[in-house]
Amino acid sequence: MTWTNFKVLKLPDSAYYLPNFITPNEESQLLEKIYTSPKPKWKTLSNRRLQNWGGFPHPKGMIQEKLPEWLLSYVHKIGTLGIFKDKLPNHVLINEYLPGQGIMPHEDGPLFYPTIATINLGSHTVLDYYEKPCDSENLDSDNQIKNCLYVGSILLERCSLLLVQDNLYTKYLHGIKEISTDVIDENIKNLNMCSTENATEMSRQSRISLTIRHVPHTIKANRIFGIK
């Protein structure tokens, strides 16, 4: 699969949308593994639940943990695309979004290699992009963005893969509106690449995203605890 053939041309550089990156059977297997993970792996936030695999990214370095076997094949599949150059992904963030849940516009930041890969499970969603404000204080408590220009959205279908890098990673914010039904219109910049391009509205179901990244600065646990 040549991922560079799947560029979303109607957004700033660079997003690549690969529909049907995994099969429905692979999706079912992943969902089963995620929902049967040990309960302590889940962290509950005000608007979603999440799991961290591979360690917890931190400015001082991520204490690297071994990824479970059920994630490794997908991490390897992403890694062999070459999107991280000569590096391999070492961190997976799993987010669960129920209908009506979302996330305020944000950036992934400098803790990560400037490329992000997201596998989408369970339901579609719509990911919105905005120009980054001059000052992060432009993000207010109502999750609205002041003085930010909306540039477009990407429809993420089940079993799809989204790759984001270059200016779209460093100079733009991305978020998901807290709504239960998405309007499908000309704001969806990858609509011509989707199987649902004739839809006008889509109702969200429970969704899981696997965000696969490379954390450059890692620390082995034995260095933290002084073990040789």
Q: Tell me how far CA of residue 141 lies from CA of 29, 68, 106, 128, in angstroms.
A: 38, 37, 13, 18
What per-residue confidence (pLDDT) applies to 141?
44
What per-residue confidence (pLDDT) applies to 58?
87
pLDDT by residue for the chain (228 residues), tens only, comes to: 689 999 999 999 999 999 999 999 999 999 999 999 999 999 999 889 999 999 999 888 999 999 999 999 999 999 999 999 989 999 999 999 999 999 999 999 899 999 999 999 999 999 999 998 755 554 554 445 566 799 999 999 999 999 999 999 999 999 999 999 999 999 999 999 999 867 899 999 999 999 999 999 998 765 544 444
What per-residue confidence (pLDDT) applies to 134?
54
- Rounded Cα distance, 75 and 66, in Å: 12
* Token pair for 95: 């987010």
- Rounded Cα distance, 12 and 53, in Å: 30
- Rounded Cα distance, 149 and 134, in Å: 12
- Rounded Cα distance, 40 and 52, in Å: 11
